[in-house]
Amino acid sequence: MKLSTRSRYGLRLMLTLGASEKKEPVFLREIARAEEISEKYLSQIIIPLKAKGLVTTFRGAHGGYLLGRPASEIRLREIIEPLEGDLCLVECVANSTLCDRSTECVTREIWKGMDAVLAEYLDSVTLEDLVQKYNLKRRNKGAVEYSI
C-alpha cells in the first residue's frame, strides 16, 4: 500500500495547524508557503477534513483555519481515511461478495490481519503525538549530539 500525496500533505497541513503557536486562525497560503505545497491543492485537501469536523473555518480579515478539536483528540486514522478512502489493502476484505473464494480463501485472513494492524496503529497515534515530536525536532535543530 502506498499513501497518496493527499494523505501526506493533509497530515502536514493538520500538523501545521496543531503546532501553530499563535492559536489563532492560520491562512491556507501561510501553510502552503511553509510546507511548500500548492495552495490550490491544499484547498482541495482541506474540504474532506472540514467535512469531518477536523478543521474549522473562519471568514474575514482575521479568518483562516483552526483545528476543529484538540490535537490530542484527533487520531491519524481520522485524517487519512477521508483523504484516501477505505484503507483496506485488498477489496475483498471490506466486501466479501466481490470474490467467490472469500469464504475459503486463506490469504484473505492475512489481508484482514494486516488491515487490523494498520487501523490499530493509526488509531493509536494522535495529532498531538506528532506535534510533540515536531516541536522536539524544532528545539533540537542544530543541537550537537554527544551521545554514543
In this structure, what CATH number is given to the domain that contains residue 64? 1.10.10.10
User: For 67-105, what is each residue's pLDDT tens digit?
Assistant: 999 999 999 999 999 999 888 888 888 877 878 887 888
The DSSP output letter for 67 is: E
Parent domain of 96: 5-140
> Which grid cell sits at 82?
477521508
27: left (phi over 0), alpha (psi -120 to 50) or beta: beta
Q: What is the pLDDT, as a whole number, of residue 20?
A: 86
- CB-based contact 79:10 (threshold 8 Å): yes
Find the mean pLDDT for residues 46-62: 92
Structural domains of the chain, count: 1
In a domain, 82, yes or no: yes
Q: Which pLDDT band holds residue 17 (cuts at 50, 70, 90)? A: very high
Pairing of strands 64-67, 55-58: antiparallel
In a domain, 145, yes or no: no
d(C-alpha 96, C-alpha 99), whole Å: 6
> Which pTM was predicted?
0.85
